[in-house]
Amino acid sequence: MPPCSYVNEQAKATFLGTGTSTGVPVIGCHCPVCTSTDPKNKRLRASLWIEWDGISLLIDAGPDLRQQALRAGIRRLDAVLYTHGHLDHVVGFDELRAFCWGNRPPLPLYANPSCMNTLQTMFAWAFSPSNTHGGYIKPDPRIVEDSFAIGSLRITPLPVLHAGVQTNGYRFDAEGMKSFAYIPDAKSLPAATIELLDGCEIVILDALREQPHPTHLCLEESLACLQQIGPRQAYLTHISHESEHHALQKRLPAHIYVAYDQLILSLTHWYENHSLRPT
Ligand SMILES: [Zn+2]
Ligand SMILES: [Zn+2]
Ligand SMILES: [Zn+2]
């Protein structure tokens, strides 16, 4: 089991969804994974919620956002960070309005130029000066081109190759926190990005399925990337209905885990919480 039994309420990352763009089960599919009753084989669209030092940060806002926010008990967001503009990562946009109600300031949305363009094209009304209705989302667009900070959290964009769409993973560092990276959609990681992952303790990486795929890392490719990076722990995500959770887990090295919906990672640093120190 991953070392998630002790969780500091103020320092955690919650997998809101670990599925590929269809989600699992897939509509109309009767395969063993889609018909499995095991919660670990039920995957909403890929998204991560980070809580650190009073910061509540959502990565990607896909079509399952409403259900994910209710299930995880998200009551407040300080920002949304987008990896790229594919629909399984952006079409929950309108659900973000609930985080803008009251006298809250506009919600910072961090995205690379291509993804911001997608958001502003798809949801032009929200970015328009005429968006003054109190019930609507009030976005505060912030283009990601280099490292930046949200509170004490330092965030480094990790450019990856994915389906010809400008796509970032992100690395997160903070004093006293396990450094971790989240890369849900990638076909390959450029050498410069591998370098940016140097010393990163936890890597969460795309591993769509066993068979090669034109736009996503398959299992073998994902494991090869992880071997190159050498994190202390890794979690596989953005998984299709072709992978059964337990069968996949059995095939992985001891420090690599199959992520599943609602899995919570403690971000408290290993050395500040010896009970979490892997043996
Ligand atoms: Zn995706
Ligand atoms: Zn299926
Ligand atoms: Zn994608």
d(CA 45, CA 68): 9
Overall average pLDDT of the 239-268 stretch? 97
pTM: 0.94
Give the SS3 label for residue 93. Answer: helix
pLDDT confidence tier of residue 183, bands split at 50, 70 and 90: very high
Q: Which residues of 29-42 are buried (b: 16+ CB within 10 A; e: fewer)?
A: eeeebbebeeebbb
User: Is 11-269 assigned to CATH 3.60.15.10?
Assistant: yes
The C-alpha torsion from 87 through 226 and 270 to 198, rounded to 10°, is -90
User: Ligand 3 centroid vs 161 CA: distance in angstroms?
Assistant: 10
Q: What is the largest CA-CA distance in the chain?
A: 57
Please name which of 3, 11, 25 lies closest in space to residue 239, comparing C-alpha atoms. 25
User: Ligand 3 centroid vs 235 CA: distance in angstroms?
Assistant: 18
User: Ligand 1 centroid vs 84 CA: distance in angstroms?
Assistant: 8
pLDDT value at residue 3: 45
* pLDDT, tens digit (0-9, with 9 covering 90-100), for 5-46: 444 557 999 999 999 999 999 999 999 999 999 999 999 999
d(CA 141, CA 102): 20
Beta-carbon contacts of residue 23 (< 8 Å; ≥ 6 apart): 17, 43, 44, 45, 64
User: Ligand 2 centroid vs 25 CA: distance in angstroms?
Assistant: 6
